[in-house]
A and B are shown apart, each in its own frame.
Chain A
């Protein structure tokens, strides 16, 4: 039991909350953590170091110390917030229902506002990616187009052979071979603005994403095909940009709000039954636009409506009772499923993708050990923290090897790339929706 003296001390401190982002947060969110420690065994970084500051409750204690005015936003604090993967495994583990995603985003925003991690290079890369590339759809596509040309023309292979890459700094050089292959077509070239099924039961909006649009536009096409096969008319607004999850996860809440407003403006919500995303990282973020825009009178109500309609594709399909497929596209493959953190921990969606995968004929479903453990992709974590990311990636690959699977299903572009890079060419990684789409196509003897 605390003495009343200690409490009044605590209370006094909590009254002084000079920091913008932590202060924007209702204090009860910080207070919700009762530091029982149930999160510790779920946290990849705590398990690595066994140091409390690398654990969820330790990080929350630091955030609370800042909110209470006991600690400044320091470089150490900043580094800690970026050592966190943001995998949200702690959210699933937490019996007390702590809203860690919100805490984490605000803490990173606080770190950015205090600029404690400043280096000229970091500032440049953040500006280039968050404020340019992922803020302006045309620019991302232009870069995507150039990258495609570079890869498709054979120039890429030539450069790799020439040894020119040795001129790059080491961290970029190590990343170069893992650069994703850009698709020939963007989503808009594959999907009409309105696609109508023969018998229309629902009308849904389709989010094409940013990375998904560049690297996995085929997954977007598959998603639309599956929706059409299930009686959903699909509306895909043109020139969609990033939903802002990249920004929010990286401490740029301001730009995240801009991205959210832009996206909301692009959809006529009243005419839609749902807004569909097929990327876990996006879904986990864009179901909470109301948090981001609650102080914006022009958008607060619309953001609420948006949150109510946002659905992950697997969630939506199970909700409407998707038609079980009959076609055998891939025979006698052993398949396993890696749960993207932001699907299972971020959105609590675990059963639905399995229900879809198990319904596909010709595939033998094997459970993956530690399926909900982070693969190390975690947004840009594999770039910012390559060592810890590599460790998690190897652990994931070892678990996959144990299943004997030749096919790994996962529903997030980051995980998709991370796992594909880990398992090599023998084993193929696919989005669950692509497998379902292939099975539907096989019913009609089609292939793509």
Chain B
């Protein structure tokens, strides 16, 4: 075998530091070998990679607190990580930093049907939350694409969305309380089981979407809702994106709020169908997946109305899911869209721009125009009902010339989004990927306010440093 020299290692931690971490967390929960660390060098985001100095896998909040207190006292940065499925590079390690992965904090502590709440540790898998609610006739609606493996702590820290946002909202709408470990190692409980609670600042809301930069969420108290009794899933295909957008606008205009209004363009449909084989039409310009749930009578009525609207707007076909299993297969297939697009080119850059719904058709058309102008392959899918689109650039990170064009295209898409009153990220978070574009969306005062908050809680800037924004002190 030809011998290979190892690439320059990332900044390492001293052996006494490692020894102390082993004392605090248990030797078996501290990883330092390159074979252990390399697989923690990324999350679900393309082309973002950095080595970790050490991975710690705590099993209790107390250990999280002890490790954090020690790390901060030593000036060591800490990146909190769930299952590493994030799409903004938020949990990519930082130089010389500890990766604190919470996957072993995976216990559901309580389901309280009397108060419609559920208390879980941060490392519980999102789908396991809903599975635990199910036997009580309850429902946890947020369903990000990676729900089968993403952790609830990661969802809260990124305020994840999903396919049901239109009717049910996003993760924030379900967080009633949480346990947070603060940078000084103290453990704070925020929020309560009360539907109404205005005692003091709503501190829990500060941590929702804070991307691990303010504290480490170790437990979450979630709201659960009665499980809908019925559900209807429709699949409408259109020969133009405009017709699809028009039918979505019409549905909302007629004050029907289905739980899901997802669209996929032709290229996305082709990739998803290639993988999932669920019978998605691959010849239509756009496909809209519609789902309504609730009382059986209402569901029937809404499904019929949506079908009629789609046909009015020129749908080529409207297909009903044969049964629950088929409906689940369709939604699952839709959740695979982003990964399935990786079939076409080596690098898949997924964006997450969101505009007020009335501007949806405009942003979709703009993306198409940008793709043509910069000679790029862009597939688009997303949550039509939320105004949240995922233009996905299919490219090759090793092709510099093309990557230049990718950058230009992204800048234009972000600028247009902001001009339309939108946001550069609807549900994936800022992390590293959108950091350069964030200030463009804020006025000076609000951007400075975020930094003030960060410095108030984490004065040494050791929690997930360099994510969301850089602290220029």
Contact = CB atoms under 8 A, between A and B. Distances in A.
A and B assemble together: yes
Interface of A: 1-2, 4, 6-8, 10-11, 13-14, 16, 18-19, 28, 31-32, 34-38, 40-41, 50-53, 55, 57-59, 61-62, 65-66, 68-74, 76-77, 80, 94-97, 113-115
B93 to A, nearest CB: 12
B336 interface: yes
A55 B39 contact: yes
Interface in B335-378: 336-340, 342-343, 346-349
Given A37-B85, A38-B146, A95-B342, A8 B7 contact: no
Given A52-B39, A97-B274, A2 B48 contact: yes
Given A7-B400, A37-B149, A76-B35, A50 B336 contact: no
Which residue among A18, A66, A97 has the maximum number of chain B CB atoms within 10 Å of its CB? A97
Nearest to A72: B4
Contacts of A38: 146, 148-149, 336, 339
Interface in B454-472: none
Nearest to B271: A95
Given A2-B47, A55-B39, A50 B104 contact: yes
A52 B104 CA distance: 13
Given A1-B47, A10-B398, A31 B34 contact: no
Nearest to A96: B342
Contact of B44 (A35, A41, A97): A35
Contacts of B1: 19, 73, 113-115
B255 interface: no
B74 interface: no
Interface residues of B, number: 60
B4 A18 contact: yes
A1 B400 contact: no
B46 A34 contact: yes
Contact of B7 (A31, A55, A69, A97): A69
A257 B441 CA distance: 59
17 contacts: A2-B47, A2-B49, A4-B404, A7-B400, A10-B49, A16-B4, A19-B4, A34-B46, A35-B84, A51-B36, A58-B39, A68-B7, A69-B7, A95-B275, A95-B338, A95-B342, A113-B1
Closest 4 CB pairs of A and B: A58-B39, A95-B339, A52-B39, A2-B47
A36 B85 contact: yes
A97 B148 contact: no
A184 B1 CA distance: 46
A14 B35 CA distance: 19
Nearest to A8: B400
Interface in B230-283: 272, 274-276
A41 B148 contact: yes
Interface in B1-44: 1-7, 31, 33-36, 38-44
Contact of B40 (A7, A52, A68): A52
